[in-house]
Amino acid sequence: MSKLRGWGFVAGVSAALLGVCVGVRASDAPEAARPVWCPTAIAERSQANDIQYRKIAEKLQQRQPIRLVAIGSSSTEGSDLADRQQAYPVQMERRLNALFGAGAFIVLNKGRGGEAMPETIARFDSDVEQQSPDLVIWQLGVNDVVRQQDMSVSARNVDAGLRKLDLIGAPVILMDMQLAPKVLLSTVLQPMRALLADAATRRDALLWSRFDLMRGIVDTGGATMAELIKADELHMTVPMHACTGIVLAETIAARLPLRVGQDVASTRAPGPR
């Protein structure tokens, strides 16, 4: 069952962690405005090991920047966008730094448009492991679904990819497919959703369901499919990239231990006002 929660974000998690600040980067830019239909909710379908996220909170407490690698296909790279600075990883980085302080998170966009799982997994050594990430987001499955990849092959690919990520030791967030007409036409959509949910549970990863997030927006009448998906019936619009980045950033914030966040807020030396 989906865990798409109510439209109110858990107040206090972000507020308790706002005091964390790691230094300012000149490249930091103001975060995008949240679309009016974008929920302040956590779209997740399986639980991950919170001990892994405690390590991230401890690094923040020590004022060390968190390196986050976002890897995947065009939804990550933003290869279909006129300006790739509008892609979800950039929006996520801006939201995270708005929550935790400028420079607290460094997001490395390692997306490559058109890739299915094997091509992305082949880049894990160079584009993930060699980046020494504290957190990895693997956006996967959409091109495999659209191309009707055999599910036995997809199962082997998901397992092989997660085994490689296990060796890196950073917590992993799996991002599933977008709600889009070309995705909905696929006969392997539902089997892929079940496969990812099972793999996340077995591998102690967090499955962040973009599909459920978008379905919730459409089903509640917040926005139409045309507002979320471009005319090509596959790629996300700029506002949906913004919503994806913002809600995912808030999901990450909510997973950080509140106790640690409170300790950070209460023990760090007061800065200049």
Whole-number pLDDT of residue 204: 86
- Asked if residue 60 belongs to a domain, the reply is yes
- Asked if residue 95 belongs to a domain, the reply is yes
Provide, rounded to the nearest whole percent, the portion of the chain with pLDDT above 70: 81
* Whether the predicted pLDDT of 263 surpasses 50: no
* H or E, element range at 76: helix 74-77
Mean predicted lDDT score pLDDT of the chain? 85
Domains: count for the chain: 1
DSSP assignments along 16-40, one per residue: HHTT------TT--PPPPPPTT--S
- Asked if residue 2 belongs to a domain, the reply is no
Question: Dihedral of CA 215/220/224/227: which sign?
Answer: negative
Confidence of residue 7 (pLDDT cuts 50, 70, 90): very low
Task: Please give the residue range of the domain that contains residue 229.
Answer: 13-20+36-266
Which tops the pLDDT comparison, 266 or 104?
Answer: 104
- Asked if residue 4 belongs to a domain, the reply is no
- Asked if residue 27 belongs to a domain, the reply is no
- Asked if residue 221 belongs to a domain, the reply is yes
CATH code of the domain in which 187 resides: 3.40.50.1110
pTM: 0.85
What CA–CA distance (Å, rounded) separates 70 from 133?
10
Whole-number pLDDT of residue 56: 94
